[in-house]
Amino acid sequence: MRIEGAVTRSIWVEPDGWAVGIFDQRLLPWQVERMVLREIGGAAVAIADMATRGAPMIGAVAAYGLAFGLKADPSDEGLAASCEQLRVTRPTAVNLLWALERVRRVVAPLPPAARAAAAHAEAGRICDEDVAMNRAIGEGGLGLIRAIAARKAGAPVNVLTHCNAGWLATVDWGTATAPLYLAHDEGIALHVWVDETRPRNQGALTAFELAGHGVPHSYIVDNAGGLLMQQGAVDMVIVGTDRVTANGDVCNKIGTYLKALAARAHGVPFYVALPSATYDPATATGADVPIEERSGKEVAFVAGEGGHKVRVTRSPVRNPAFDITPASLVTAYITEAGIAAGPEALAQLLAGQG
């Protein structure tokens, strides 16, 4: 996508052919700064400290991080240690585990001297496939937007998003945003309600992306979505996800569940956009997903332009980063393989994918 007038992915290989660059999402949208990752420690810190975010992006960075770890120690012990160092950085997003296991399967049979280069190449393939998957998700979601646009006879299609499931959270296009970009580029009248998504305010990243693409949007507080649905101002909700379990439960950024409840109450379709790597049939239900509990400082302080932080409370804080939306509240899942209207259809659709 486009940032500062240039077309770019959210992760790229540096000119030396080995290091990779990413955008430091902690500074966006106020400051665009690129980070260069050259060793496993830097990749692990970027994931854990949320310099890079979004399940697909976490997976991509972890894959390259494993290559960096193997360059330092390509032994079997080094492979196991590198996988563990990266695994513990973020426990909820299944793409991280998926990417590590995929790279591990590729390199484990190889002689140690060949492992780092093979891991680096596999990480590159993961990135290329992510771009293609997100584009395909966009095509599937575009059909849903077209259908609503046809019923509205030229009036804007109003879409509600939550968190950032855009190109910054993936390698390109995004999951929930890919249909929006394609619809806008096709000339469909579109307006996006962007949840701020406290406490990290990832909605600001979505707004930053949409503004760069020229997509009409409004930034709203998290609790405004229910009222807008009640007023008939939302035609559809599209969110991304960090994990979808075997029974179709959706683990996503905290607040997603409340949007799904409001959508069901007001007859608004609620769609979940996910690549096959985010589907986790090995986990039975959402109750089995480890919910990451992050530092209370994320809630107690609010950061603004220039990185200045203001304390908003001195009370004890709990900060669960994700919640679980039951499959019963999901209208359909939008994947690179097509649209699934329920957990069983999702399992059949993604059988053999990834």
The residues carrying an active-site annotation are: 242
CA 293 to chain centre: 18
Q: What's the rounded Cα separation, in Å, for the pair 33 and 153?
A: 42
Length of the chain, in residues = 354
How far lies 255's CA from each of 26, 250, 270, in Å? Answer: 20, 12, 14
In terms of Cα–Cα distance, which of 15, 16, 33 is closest to 24?
A: 33
How far lies 351's CA from each of 251, 279, 323, in Å? Answer: 20, 10, 26
Backbone angles phi, psi at 201, to 5 degrees: 55, 45
- Burial environment of residue 108 by CB neighbours within 10 A (0 to 12, 13 to 18, 19 or more): exposed
Q: What's the rounded Cα separation, in Å, for the pair 23 and 57?
A: 11
Q: What's the rounded Cα separation, in Å, for the pair 275 and 136?
A: 9
Question: Is the N-terminal amide bond of 216 cis, ω within 30° of 0?
Answer: no
Other CB atoms within a 10 A radius of the CB of residue 261 amount to: 15
The residues pairing with 3 across neighbouring beta strands, listed in sequence order, are 6
The DSSP secondary-structure symbol of 290 reads: P
Q: What's the rounded Cα separation, in Å, for the pair 9 and 98?
A: 21
Assign 185 to helix, strand or coil. helix
Residues 177/167, Cβ–Cβ less than 8 Å: yes
Backbone angles phi, psi at 334, to 5 degrees: -105, 115
What is the CA angle 65-66-69, rounded to 5? Answer: 90
